[in-house]
Chains A and B, each alone.
Chain A
Amino acid sequence: MSLHSSVRNNTHTVLQRIEEAFDAPFGGANNPLRHLGAMGLYLLWIVVGTGLYLYTVLDISITGVYDSIGYQSQDLWYFGGILRSLHRYASDAFILVMVLHLIREWAYGRYYGFRFYSWITGVPLIWLVYASGIGGYWIVWDQVAQFSATATTELLDWLPIFSEPAARNFLAPDSINDRFFTMLVFIHIGIPLLLILGLWAHVHRISLVDYLPSQQLMLGTIAALLLLALVRPALSDAPANLALTPAELRLDWFILFIHPLTDISSPAFVWTLLFAVTALLFILPFLPHPKAEPIAVVDAANCSGCSRCHVDCPYAAITMAPHPHRPGFKIAAVDPDLCASCGICAGSCPSSTPFRRQEQLLTGIDMPQQTVNGLRQRLEDALAGLEGPSRIVIFGCDRGADAKALAAPDTAVISLMCTGILPPSFVEYALRGGADGVMLTGCRSGGCDFRLGDRWTAERMTGQREPRLRSKVPLARLQLVFASRNDGKILAAALQEFRTRIESRAPSDGPLPPYFRRTSHHA
């Protein structure tokens, strides 16, 4: 294992533990660490909304910018002041969330293969965020703005891009005029617009994007920021005066950390660091990484063109194209660059039912490494080997809690690449084939490696999504357990509880007629 892989895996372990600790108070759906992208977008909308207000009240002149923003903070503290504080603190929170998002996606290995595009399009956004943030601090034109403007231009001057030093623009009080702030506001609006455009590109290759986090998470976040705005309102420092240099500054370390870093090192060091980190982020997807799994394969003879796989694919890898042999019909088409090899499409296909009479079960869309036919064979073999008073089949998830340790004479374990690959009809097939109960395990809520596997599985099994588990299947004999790879004990306890529940039920309670494919008259 390379050093990079070792560091990444250790970071993954630590992050996953922290996320799971957050699950206790928040739950998966409201856990901010599981929805960092959506949190970032939410914070960005707060910044944009409050920024639009600040733009309307800003007097664009050298003294006007300071006075007009100061008026909002002092005289209109209950409205304009709070909005200004929200603007600043939401910006800082955005930076924090962005950095955590970057580290998390790297640690979870979500930067290569089908995620290559999202990773690469995310890297330039970091530059846009900082350019916008640093420029925003200048608009107030207080001592921090003066320091940042001077330090930034001195840093820029190290690059051979200006014929005259840009820092000459901030030499003396008469060096700048009102038009400077007009240009600054123009840039401070223009860069965020570019950022929003870049964010659209960043997410447009995934389907059902979480544009906003859950309502509870949004309310909690805005309440925390409002409280902060009231307790510690964002205020300007003394007005800028280019004839004096302030000795001590109340610096925003989230955005302006680059200036002290330049002071203790050098512009050459900072630019080298910035370009090296950026280059490293671009190069990461090209470093050695696990080989890609085979992608989904469409069988034209068995694809009815129902579009369910197209709807359920978490990465918009499936499109519907005209059927090559059946005029007026459609067929699923898989984009190899986007396919995550999760198998969720196979689980959504109505042809993926084990009750079909074919000896070789062929379905509309299938995974070569874990075919539906192979799954049926494994299930039939497992059912044949089960014995005991309460025979349970566990469909486990390779990415979630390890269910293999629970295998026993009365417990069969079939591990899946993602729980989402399991068509609901397999549950009925297992119960009618001799199982007394079926347990389905998947990643924790919000923690699915393939985004939507746990959600689609739960919805299919509870009849909220096609393909549905048939209503005559007694739900008492089905147990869904969403557990991570650290939740082995939770899974074992859930199995014990499920078994006790099954054993306490009368044998005649909700039985399904037996079905044995090879002996059935249907076969």
Chain B
Amino acid sequence: MLKPAAIVGQVILYGAFAAFIGYFATSPKYRQIADDVALIKLSISHLGDRECRKRTPEELQKLPPNMRAPMDCPRERSDINLEVDIDGQPAFRTVMHPTGVYKDGVSTVYKRFEVKAGSHQVAVRMNDNLVKPGFNFVKEEQVTLKPGQVMVIDFNPDRGGLFFK
């Protein structure tokens, strides 16, 4: 039979156990970002370009009939050059390398930027074939971001290249 003091002791300790679990299950609150901050997520996954050459009729004639592809393309993909400016200031510069042992996979980038909510001039430039100079994809836009809003910078050739959403 438990003594009264033991019962009181157990109640206190079980209570402390429950309080400890209950408190740290939800508290203290974690502030991920400030109230007046929005996020810009840069996330691109794209196959770099490659320099293909059209085969001549003579070359095609020499190939077995089942291998007469009109274009001769290397397996390797080009690095991708990417630049992001926010409000005219360089925010990010990178060269994305193709994945894979033979460098024939996609090039990817994922980056988060915290910016003050409000209006911002966002410019993104991308060159997916470094044999050629300059940038073959450019997107520049004035965006207005609410506090906590997430804006994504992505790339999809079917949607015209770089886009914001």
Contacts and interface: CB of A to CB of B under 8 A. Distances in A.
Interface of A: 22, 24-27, 88-89, 92-93, 96, 147, 154, 157, 163-165, 167-168, 171-172, 220-221, 223-225, 227-228, 231-232, 234, 242-254, 259-260, 263
Given A92-B24, A252-B25, A220 B14 contact: yes
Interface of B is mostly: mixed
Interface string B4-18: 011111101111011
Given A25-B13, A250-B29, A165 B22 contact: no
A249 B110 contact: no
Given A165-B45, A167-B110, A171-B43, A254 B24 contact: yes
Interface of B: 5-10, 12-15, 17-18, 20-22, 24-27, 29-35, 37, 39, 41, 43, 45, 99-100, 105-106, 108-110, 112, 147-150, 152, 154, 165
Nearest to B41: A171
Q: Tell me which of B100, B150, B154 has the highest count of chain A C-beta atoms within 10 A of its own C-beta.
A: B150
Nearest to A263: B32
A154 B158 CA distance: 26
B149 A260 contact: no
A164 B22 contact: no
A228 B21 contact: yes
A89 B24 CA distance: 10
Contact of A234 (B10, B13, B25, B29): B25
B43 A168 contact: yes
B9 A172 contact: no
B26 A250 contact: yes
A24 to B, nearest CB: 6
Nearest to B152: A171
Nearest to B10: A25
Contacts of B26: 232, 250-252
A247 B21 contact: no
B110 A24 contact: no
Contacts of B27: 250, 253
A523 B80 CA distance: 97
A248 B31 contact: yes
B68 to A, nearest CB: 31
Contact of A157 (B8, B29, B110): B110
A22 B150 contact: no
Contact of A224 (B8, B14, B152): B14
B43 A88 contact: no
Nearest to B34: A247
B147 A88 contact: no
A251 B30 contact: yes
19 contacts: A22-B13, A24-B9, A25-B9, A88-B25, A92-B24, A96-B20, A165-B43, A165-B110, A171-B43, A172-B152, A220-B10, A227-B18, A228-B21, A234-B25, A244-B148, A247-B34, A250-B26, A251-B29, A259-B30
A163 B106 contact: yes
B110 A168 contact: yes
Contacts of B10: 25-26, 220
B24 to A, nearest CB: 5
Q: Tell me which of A92, A147, A224, A243 has the highest count of chain B C-beta atoms within 10 A of its own C-beta.
A: A224
A25 B5 contact: yes
A171 B100 CA distance: 24
B148 A247 contact: yes
A244 B150 contact: yes
B99 A163 contact: yes
A154 B25 contact: no
A253 B20 CA distance: 11
A248 B154 CA distance: 27
A444 to B, nearest CB: 16
Contacts of A147: 32
B92 to A, nearest CB: 15
B25 A254 contact: yes
A301 B149 CA distance: 83
A227 B14 CA distance: 10
Given A25-B10, A171-B154, A245-B33, 18 more contacts: A25-B9, A89-B22, A89-B25, A92-B25, A154-B110, A163-B105, A164-B108, A165-B43, A167-B43, A171-B152, A232-B26, A234-B25, A245-B149, A247-B35, A248-B29, A249-B31, A251-B30, A253-B24
B43 A246 contact: no
A231 B18 CA distance: 10
Nearest to B99: A163
Nearest to B27: A250
A245 B32 contact: yes
9 A-B pairs closest in CB distance: A25-B9, A165-B110, A250-B26, A224-B18, A224-B14, A251-B30, A228-B18, A25-B6, A253-B24
A172 B165 contact: yes
A24 B6 contact: yes
Contacts of B100: 163
Contact of B147 (A96, A247, A252): A247
Contact of B32 (A96, A154, A248): A248
A194 to B, nearest CB: 25
B100 to A, nearest CB: 8
B76 to A, nearest CB: 16
Contacts of A250: 26-27, 29-30
Contacts of B109: 165
A260 B24 CA distance: 14
B38 to A, nearest CB: 8
A93 B109 CA distance: 39
A300 to B, nearest CB: 50
Q: Tell me which of B13, B14, B27 has the highest count of chain A C-beta atoms within 10 A of its own C-beta.
A: B14
A376 B41 CA distance: 79
Contacts of A165: 43, 45, 108-110
Given A247-B31, A247-B35, A249-B30, A96 B21 contact: yes
A225 B22 CA distance: 9
A247 B14 contact: no
